[in-house]
């Protein structure tokens, strides 16, 4: 089920260094766990903020995620990526927060995203327009259902495999592929296929796994 040896250590830290910190943290060295926090806090915050769209709530969820990870560190299996385990905790806490706000819904409303971008190739010619269009698409992504949005963020921004995403979301890999497919279709329906494809290329996003 879970892909072994994926090597998803944080940028600037080797897998060996990551494992050394984890081993020391398990032995009670708080400075080692602080090293793990420093290594993953930015990526975790970016993911959580995209889910809840609140700086304050994202900070609270990240703090709760690291606290839970520290308290449960003995249950972490070092055969797998630490970041995947961390994102799993963070995702579940996001859902808990969103449920409390009654924000979980399978319905998608694209009414406030904007008009179709028929001239995508031309407008992507300038960095200013490219940034505007990326914002437009992320606004659409923000309106996907939580599982779809999480799948998109983890696949395209974190470059996680469908099997890793399945572990984070607690669903089968085939369901992850379905979420990705449906999310892309919704984006294409609203924004136009050319725009979505150009945006993916601009972000060096992988598109082949769910074709």
Asked whether residue 8 is domain-assigned, the answer is no
Q: In this structure, are 93 and 161 located in the same domain?
A: no
Q: Which residue range forms the structural domain that includes residue 142? A: 120-210
79-133 pLDDT, tens per residue?
788 999 999 999 999 999 888 875 444 433 333 333 333 344 443 444 555 566 6
Give pLDDT, residue 35: 95
Q: In this structure, are 205 and 125 located in the same domain?
A: yes
Q: In this structure, are 41 and 74 located in the same domain?
A: yes
Report whether 36 contacts 82 (CB < 8 A): yes
Q: In this structure, are 71 and 138 located in the same domain?
A: no
pLDDT classification of 187: cutoffs 50, 70, 90: confident
147-176 pLDDT, tens per residue?
999 998 999 888 899 999 999 999 999 999
pLDDT classification of 198: cutoffs 50, 70, 90: low
Q: In this structure, are 73 and 133 located in the same domain?
A: no
4-43 pLDDT, tens per residue?
334 444 556 888 999 999 999 999 999 999 999 999 999 9
| CATH classification at residue 194 | 1.10.10.10
Q: In this structure, are 89 and 127 located in the same domain?
A: no
DSSP letters, 89-150, are HHHHHHHHHHHHTT---S----TTT----TTHHHHTTSHHHHHHHHHHHHHHHTTS-HHHHH
Rounded to whole angstroms, the Cα distance separating 181 from 185 reads 6
Asked whether residue 4 is domain-assigned, the answer is no
Asked whether residue 1 is domain-assigned, the answer is no
User: What are the distances in angstroms from CA 38 to CA 19, 171, 186, 187?
Assistant: 15, 29, 36, 34
| CATH classification at residue 73 | 1.10.1740.10
Asked whether residue 28 is domain-assigned, the answer is yes
Q: In this structure, are 81 and 154 located in the same domain?
A: no
Residue 150 CB coordination number (10 Å): 25
Express as a percent the part of the chain with pLDDT over 90: 45
- Structurally, the chain folds into a number of domains equal to 2
Torsion of CA 186, 139, 207, 193, to 10 degrees: 50
Residue 59 CB coordination number (10 Å): 13
pTM of the model: 0.68
Rounded to whole angstroms, the Cα distance separating 152 from 180 reads 6
Asked whether residue 108 is domain-assigned, the answer is no
Q: In this structure, are 142 and 204 located in the same domain?
A: yes
């Amino acid at each position: 089920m879970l892909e072994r040896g994926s090597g998803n250590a944080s940028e600037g830290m080797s897998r060996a260094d990551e494992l050394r910190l984890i081993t020391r943290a398990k032995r009670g060295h708080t400075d080692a766990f602080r090293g793990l926090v420093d290594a993953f806090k930015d990526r975790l915050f970016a993911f959580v903020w995209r889910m809840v769209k609140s700086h304050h709530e994202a900070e609270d969820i990240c703090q709760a995620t690291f606290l839970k990870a520290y308290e449960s560190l003995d249950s972490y299996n070092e055969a797998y990526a630490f970041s995947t385990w961390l994102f799993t905790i963070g995702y579940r806490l996001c859902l808990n927060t969103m449920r409390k706000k009654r924000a979980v819904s399978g319905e998608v409303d694209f009414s406030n995203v904007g008009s179709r971008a028929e001239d995508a190739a031309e407008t992507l010619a300038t960095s200013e327009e490219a940034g505007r269009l990326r914002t437009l698409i992320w606004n659409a992504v923000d309106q996907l259902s939580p599982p779809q949005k999480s799948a998109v963020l983890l696949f395209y921004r974190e470059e996680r495999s469908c099997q890793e995403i399945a572990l984070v979301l607690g669903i089968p890999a085939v369901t992850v592929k379905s979420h990705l497919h449906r999310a892309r279709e919704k984006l294409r329906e609203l924004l136009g296929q050319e725009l979505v494809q150009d945006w993916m290329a601009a972000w060096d996003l992988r598109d082949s796994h769910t074709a």
